[in-house]
Structure 1
Amino acid sequence: MPCCLITGASSGIGRQLALDYARAGWQVLAVARSTDALEALAAQHNGIRPVVADLTRAQDVAALCQGIAESDQPLDLAVLNAGTCIYVDAGDLQLSDFEQTFAINFFAIVRLSAALLPLLQQSKQGRLALVSSLAHYFPFTRAEAYGASKAAVSYFADSLRVDWADKGVAVTLIEPGFVDTPLTQKNDFAMPFLLSVEDASQRMLTGLSKGKPRIRFPKRLVWSLNLLRLLPYPLRIRVAGGMKP
């Protein structure tokens, strides 16, 4: 039975992805900070094993990886999906907003990637999947912290793929658009081409099963953002300014 680890599994995409992988016959290590949410998830399928951990804490990451190493089950796939979004007030920039966002969205990914490398190398098909966002393709209002953290994840994934090519571990970058999750339900603006978590999870699962190095969706949003990026820079900035509430 193949084994995968999924972070941010207490809600949203991570929760749905854990269910879908378990239903597909995988042993799933579902990682999150909420004990109650993980226990409720594990009750949905006996292939899901809840693992409570705060990935911003080095000791939690070490304990998580030690537990995997001591098990008899090789780790075939790790999907690092945990993340947060803090919209900032550009007129009163608070460094703490950026520190909190990067701690979860980027630094936790770097720490866990490093810790998981030897575990993924033990599998004949080890793959690391890092979840970024299409948000960094365009300068959305109030998204300075979130967009910057996701841009960092995307660059990290692309660079890591090159450097891990000779280590026997594949790297996949996942860049979703808007997905209907508890995080996006807090948004007070229109979200074009909004997808359900079920749709997003299936797109990710399908792309990973095919070994794709990069998974971006939905295509309509990808094409729209690519067209915006083709605009002359001053015009692009004016378009972005017109999106402000």
Structure 2
Amino acid sequence: MKSCFITGASSGIGRALACHYAHNGWRVYAVARSEAALQELSLEHSTIVPMACDLTDSAALSTLVAEITADCPSLDLVILNAGTCIYVDAEQLQLSDFEQTFAINFFAIVALVPLLLPLLKAGQQSQLAIVSSLAHVFPFTKAEAYGASKAAVSYFTESLRVDWSGNGVDVCLIEPGFVDTPLTKKNEFDMPFLISSDEAVKRISQGIAQRRARIRFPKRLVWSLNVLRILPYRLRLVVARGMKP
């Protein structure tokens, strides 16, 4: 039986991914802070192992990986998906908003990667998939903290792929657009080309199965953002300002 490790598995894309892989016969180590949500998930799928953990607690992460190592000698797939979004007031920036956002979106990934590497290297043709966002491609309103954290995630993942070349672990960068999840439901602006979690999981799982280095979707948003990026800088700023609610 193949095994995978998924963070942020209590809701949204992470939950849908956990269900997808469990339904397809994988043993899934599902990680999130909400123990109740994970227990509910494990009742739906017998191959899901619920593992409640605060990803910002380094000691807890070490304990978590030790427990998995004792239960499973290797992992075929790791999906680091957990994330949060705090929109900021640019005229009253709070350092705590950035610290909280980076703690979950970026530093938790950096902390987990070396801990999970031995389990990945012990597998056969294993894969590490890290979820970023298309948000970092364009300056969206109030997204100073979120977009900056995702820019860090994308750069980290692409650089890691270079340095891991030849070590037996493939690295995949996942950059979704707007996906209908509890996180995006609080958005107060229009979300072009919004797709469902199930559709997102379909595209992610297919990309992982094809061992793609980067998965970006939906294509209409990717194309739109690429067009915006080649506009003169001043015109880009006009478009960005026009998106403010």
Q: Same fold (TM over 0.5)?
A: yes
- RMSD across aligned C-alpha pairs, in angstroms? 0.7
Q: Distance in 2 between matches of 1:39 and 1:73?
A: 24
SS in 2 for 1:56: coil
Deviation at 1:110, TM superposition (A): 0.4
CA distance in 1, matches of 2:54, 2:125: 27
- 5+ long unaligned stretches in structure 2: none
Counterpart contact for 1:3–1:73, Cα < 8 Å: no
Partner of 1:87: 87
Q: Deviations over 1:145-169 (max 9, x none)?
A: 0000000000000000010112211
1:14-56 C-alpha deviation (Å, 9 max, x unpaired): 0000000001111000000001000011111111110111111
Q: Does 1:28 align with 2:22?
A: no
Which region of structure 1 is more displaced relative to structure 2, 80-89 or 165-174? 165-174
SS of the residue corresponding to residue 43 of structure 1 reads: helix
1:234 maps to amino acid: R
Identity among equivalent pairs (%): 64
Q: Which residue of 2 aligns with 1:239?
A: 239
Could you tell me which amino acid in structure 2 is paired with residue 10 of structure 1?
S
The 5-angstrom pairing of residues 1-245 of structure 1 reads: 1-245=1-245
Q: Which amino acid aligns with 1:166?
A: G
Matched residues in 1 for 2:56 and 2:167: separation? Answer: 26
Extract unaligned runs of 5+ from structure 1.
Answer: none
Q: TM-score, normalised by structure 1?
A: 0.99
Structure 2 letter corresponding to 1:110: V
What is the CA distance between 1:73 and its match in structure 2? Answer: 4.4
Q: Cα distance 1:206–1:13, how it changes in 2: closer, same or farther (>3 A)?
A: same
The answer on whether the counterparts of 1:131 and 1:175 sit within 8 Å (CA) in structure 2 is yes
- Report how far residue 72 of structure 1 moved: 3.7
What is the Cα deviation at residue 128 of structure 1?
0.7
Separation in 1, partners of 2:88, 2:184:
15
TM-score normalised by structure 2 residue count: 0.99
Equivalent pairs counted in the alignment come to 245
Instruction: Work out whether residues 73 and 119 of structure 2, in 8 Å CA contact, stay in contact via their aligned partners in 1.
Output: no
- How far is the alpha carbon of 1:206 from its aligned partner? 0.6
**Could you tell me how far apart the structure 2 residues matched to 1:72 and 1:163 are?**
26
SS of the aligned residue for 2:225 comes to: helix
